[in-house]
Amino acid sequence: MTEISRRKFAKSLGIGLGATSILPLVSFSTDKPVDHNAKKLNIALCGLGRYANLLKHGVTESEYCNLAGIITGTPSKAVKWQADYNIPDKNIYNYENYDQLIDNPDIDLVYVVLPNSMHKEYTIRAAKAGKHVIVEKPMALTEKDCQEMIAVCKSEGVQLALGYRLHYEPNHLEIKRLGQEKVFGDVRLIEASLGYSLSNIDPNDWHLKKSLSGGGPLMNLGVYCVQVSRYVLGEEPIAVTAQFGPVNLPHLKSEVEESITWQLEFPGGAVCTSSATTNSNIDRFYAAAEKGAFELSPAVSYGPFVGKSSNGPFDFPVINQQAAQLDGIAKFILENKDVPNHISGEEGRKDLKIIEAIYKAAESGVRVDIK
Ligand code: NAD
């Protein structure tokens, strides 16, 4: 980054220049700065639920993105969002006229923030309308669906990125560096768990319906634990054992698992043990290496994260994770470059392959090889 763009980026993160010494960790990893006076990436959010309400602040606080449109099945939401964000009528769609995006040059990218089972259809329809796509996690319900999404985006010549916000978060960039650069030697054991208590959730919520969610906390939360183990080790797991937990919230009549624990084995000899649950709150990452350890807790939520290693506490700025992620992806698309592998559709596919193996291991009770 040039000094000017470092300063601009520091400003966008809300941190002073004194803190810019950590900025290389937050690098966008492309060489040439983009002239953003010329063009911003015009984004339409598809699905205006809880997470879209966070993402909208990410878009408006981003440097390179513009909230240009919305796709919603709820007319009252359209009215409110239109008024709040000055969205023209022609950029407001519903699920029926969604394909007409093909005639709208003022939208570059659709960000799919729908229930998991809808990710595939709305990604493919956006791609066929000639729009780039960011799709939320988990990418789809199966690895096969991910392959289809990747193939359609490729044949339509559009970019497909995942909503993996942690790849732009400085604490996560640090644990990735500590692990992959073997700063404390080989990482031998990782514990990475995430859970939120859903005891007060509406029993009709889609998270509890298998046809919409595809699964329970493994799909929605465990995907982060799988991700973090992969990017800290820089390796792909080779086998897994897994166990479903007991049902502590029977009143929810959930169609999906309430909790699940698994052990991923990596080729270098490391093991990552994780739990994902919807019956209690847990949000932690711990890596034990040959000559030291490093950890984050909270580790995955929207922060602020607290981290330390055997060398002392972490001291990174609190950032708007969604804005950083959107800018990180936008920069590549604005430069007509492929989005980097670690946030591409391929990355989502790899996670789904592992998730399917974890479910298979929990259902069968036997160790499953991941090929
Ligand atoms: P939500 O229930 O709050 O919102 C879902 C939206 O989809 C709503 O606007 C709803 O009206 C719409 N919708 C359309 N058809 C629907 C149907 N048949 N059933 C239910 N809703 C329907 O969900 P959310 O928490 O915003 O999650 C949306 C996606 O975002 C999920 O894939 C989730 O995993 C992901 N997410 C990501 C993060 C993150 O940090 N990256 C955080 C939360 C959620």
Kindly state if the Cβ of 136 falls inside 6 Å of ligand 1.
yes
- Residue 39 pLDDT class (50, 70, 90 cuts): confident
Boundaries of every domain in the chain: 6-165, 170-315+341-369
For 78-112, write each residue's pLDDT tens digit: 999 999 999 999 999 999 999 999 999 999 999 99
Task: Give, for ligand 1, the residue of 51, 95, 198, 226 to mutate: max count of ligand atoms closer than 8 Å to Cβ.
Answer: 51
Residues 144/149/151/155 CA torsion (nearest 10 deg): 160
Q: Which helix (H) or strand (E) holds 232?
A: helix 223-233
Number of other CB atoms surrounding residue 162 within 10 Å: 28
Q: For residue 297, what is the DSSP state? A: S
Comparing 17-21, 41-45, 253-257, which segment has the lowest mean pLDDT?
17-21
Is the pLDDT at 70 greater than 60, yes or no?
A: yes
Kindly state if the Cβ of 220 falls inside 6 Å of ligand 1.
yes
| Residue 153 near residue 123, CB atoms below 8 Å | yes
Fold of the domain spanning 170-315+341-369: Dihydrodipicolinate Reductase; domain 2 (3.30.360)
Q: For residue 220, what is the DSSP state? A: I
Is the pLDDT at 352 greater than 50, yes or no?
A: yes
Fold of the domain spanning 6-165: Rossmann fold (3.40.50)
Catalytic center residues: 137, 224
Q: What is the pLDDT of residue 106?
A: 97
Kindly state if the Cβ of 302 falls inside 6 Å of ligand 1.
no
Q: Give the global pTM.
A: 0.91
Percent of the chain clearing pLDDT 90 (strictly above)? 89
Distance CA 56, CA 139 (A): 20
Q: What is the pLDDT of residue 17?
A: 26
